[in-house]
Amino acid sequence: MATTADFKTGMCIEHNGALYYVVNFLHVKPGKGNTFVRTKLKNVKTGLVLEERFNAGIRINVARVERRPMQFLYKDDMGYNLMNTETFEQICIPEDSINGAAFMKEGEMLEAVFHADTESLLYADMPASVILEVTYTEPGIKGDTATNTLKPATVETGATVRVPLFINTGDKIKINTEDGSYVERAK
């Protein structure tokens, strides 16, 4: 058991029968009244963010989670098949449990988060950015550079990304997996 004084960003807690990550928190000591902690919590399963207020010093249940490296093997009708790189154990998980699944290609390394007490998979995270090759994009119009214009491009995984006009088919680009945005041209 911990108290609200032990809050840290990224800490996983049990609240109202569900698991939440602490996105951010702030200890508030008003001029009048009791001290409280204002938090922003993200639901592990659904991804919904809620703002919650705790009185200072109350007890909270801290959930133990473990992060394990996993390798994406292949996708079939059951879901995405991942292999633990340490024990070679394979598991199959649904697409909605993977953050950034649209940018995943075979052999990609992920970080899977497991609930330590129940050994159940909570979710899997892609790396913050990946480098993929553009398989198709319309050619940019010469001279159309007055504004920051973007065009759609299809990458090797089949996902569509908005890229600048100077990107052509065959170029390798770096993509942010959290929001699917173009970062830079890869070298």
For each of the chain's 187 residues, which pLDDT tens digit applies?
788 888 888 888 998 888 898 989 999 888 888 899 999 998 888 778 899 999 988 999 998 888 889 999 998 888 899 998 888 999 998 888 888 888 998 899 998 888 888 888 888 888 989 999 999 998 876 666 667 788 899 999 999 999 988 888 999 999 998 888 999 998 7
In sequence order, what are the residues at sequence separation of 6 or more whose Cβ sits closer than 8 angstroms to the Cβ of residue 105?
Answer: 72, 132, 156, 157
Type of residue numbered 159: A
pTM confidence score: 0.72
Instruction: Classify domain 65-125 at the CATH superfamily level.
Output: Nucleic acid-binding proteins (2.40.50.140)
Residue 186 is predicted with a pLDDT of: 87
Measured distance CA(46)–CA(42) in Å, rounded = 8
Superfamily assignment of 129-185 in CATH?
Nucleic acid-binding proteins (2.40.50.140)
Give the pLDDT score at 86: 87
How much of the chain is in helix, strand and coil states, percent to nearest 5? 5, 55, 40
Q: Which fold has domain 2-62?
A: SH3 type barrels. (2.30.30)
Output the pLDDT for position 120.
83
Cα–Cα dist 186/28, whole Å: 45
Please give the single-letter amino acid code of residue 135.
T
Residues of the chain with CATH 2.40.50.140: 65-125, 129-185
The closest alpha carbon to 7, from 167, 20, 183, 115, belongs to 20
Q: How far is CA 63 from CA 17, 79, 117, in A?
A: 11, 27, 8
Q: Where in the chain is the domain with CATH 2.30.30.30?
A: 2-62
Please tell me the number of Cα atoms within 13 Å of 59 on its side-chain side. 2
Three-state DSSP state, 16: coil
Greatest extent of the chain over all pairs of C-alpha atoms, in Å: 64
Instruction: Give pLDDT, residue 162.
Output: 92
